[in-house]
């Protein structure tokens, strides 16, 4: 099926539904949320990803499991973040597996304006070359994003990121994403999202993904997503869950 038709179908589904409260997560889409977890709260976001990219003669197949993001609220508007995952990569006929480089970072909420239904946050991660020998970048790196979101109505939310990544060589990459989310009911949410990057400040990459979330209870949310390249050969399928662990004196934070 033509990718433009797929995009129109998912857009039609989203605009015909209503948005409801969900756990604020940074998965399954590529757009990081503009909210932080509450002070003293710990949230684990984990999943499984199966992906493919490249041409038949120069292909990369990957399995990521588990992909782990730990988010801890140091203050009401500042969270500590740790990212690590186990990877199985197959390049041609050669297979490599092991632990990825450790990412440590912060998310700082810069703006929360209920009158304008707008939020803004800045996220930064430092990559440490701690991974398995065949998987490590062998150098320090950094990932940075500015995240903005708008509650367009009770039914529709819009979020977008712009960022810059540098991994110790070349010019680095500019990144972008735009996610539109709509809720079906108080349990199910859907989203569509174009995203990509300008690699080494030269090559423009455009991808598209879509997915859904299911709120099992007030602290646990499951998700399913898939993505494909629009001007490159790439696709992936991912499933996962997010678990919000509360302190006894904390209150759950959700968004419409």
Separation of CA 30 from chain center: 3
Q: Which CATH number is 18's domain given?
A: 2.40.160.40
What's the domain count of the chain?
A: 1
C-alpha dist (Å) from residue 222 to 17, 51, 213, 247: 19, 19, 6, 21
Find the mean pLDDT for residues 65-73: 97
- pTM of structure: 0.88
The overall average pLDDT reported for the chain is 88
Find the mean pLDDT for residues 124-131: 98
- Which range marks the domain in which residue 154 is found? 3-255
Whether 16 has a pLDDT exceeding 60, the answer reads no
User: pLDDT digits over 163-193, tens only?
Assistant: 999 999 899 999 999 999 998 898 999 999 9
Say how far apart CA 189 and CA 213 lie, in whole Å.
5
User: pLDDT digits over 213-252, tens only?
Assistant: 999 999 999 999 999 999 999 999 999 999 999 764 544 4
pLDDT value of position 92: 84
Q: Which two tokens stand for residue 131?
A: 């991974």
Exposed e or buried b for every residue in 198-234, given b needs 16+ CB within 10 A?
bbeeeeebebbbbbebebeeeeebebebebebeebeb
């Amino acid at each position: 099926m033509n990718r433009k038709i797929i995009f129109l179908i998912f857009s039609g589904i989203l605009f015909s539904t209503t948005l409801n409260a969900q756990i604020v997560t940074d998965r399954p889409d590529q757009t990081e949320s503009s909210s932080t977890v509450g002070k003293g709260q710990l949230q684990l976001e984990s999943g499984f990803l199966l992906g493919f990219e490249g041409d038949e003669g120069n292909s990369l197949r990957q399995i990521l499991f588990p992909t782990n993001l730990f988010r801890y609220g140091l203050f009401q508007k500042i969270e500590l973040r740790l990212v690590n995952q186990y990877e199985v990569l197959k390049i041609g006929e050669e297979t490599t597996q092991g632990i990825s480089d450790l990412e440590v970072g912060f998310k700082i909420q810069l703006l929360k304006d209920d009158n304008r239904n707008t939020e803004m946050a800045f996220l930064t991660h430092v990559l440490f070359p701690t991974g398995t020998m065949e998987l490590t970048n062998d150098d320090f790196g950094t990932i940075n994003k500015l995240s903005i979101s708008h509650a367009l109505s009770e039914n529709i939310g819009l979020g977008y990121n712009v960022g810059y990544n540098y991994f110790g060589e070349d010019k680095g990459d500019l990144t972008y994403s735009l996610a539109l989310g709509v809720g079906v009911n108080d349990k199910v949410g859907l989203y569509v999202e174009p995203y990509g990057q300008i690699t080494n400040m030269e090559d423009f990459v455009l991808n598209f993904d879509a997915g859904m979330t299911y709120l099992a209870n007030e602290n646990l949310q499951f998700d399913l997503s898939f993505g494909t390249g629009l001007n490159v050969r790439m696709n992936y399928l991912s499933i996962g869950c997010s678990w919000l662990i509360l302190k006894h004196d904390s209150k759950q934070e959700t968004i419409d």
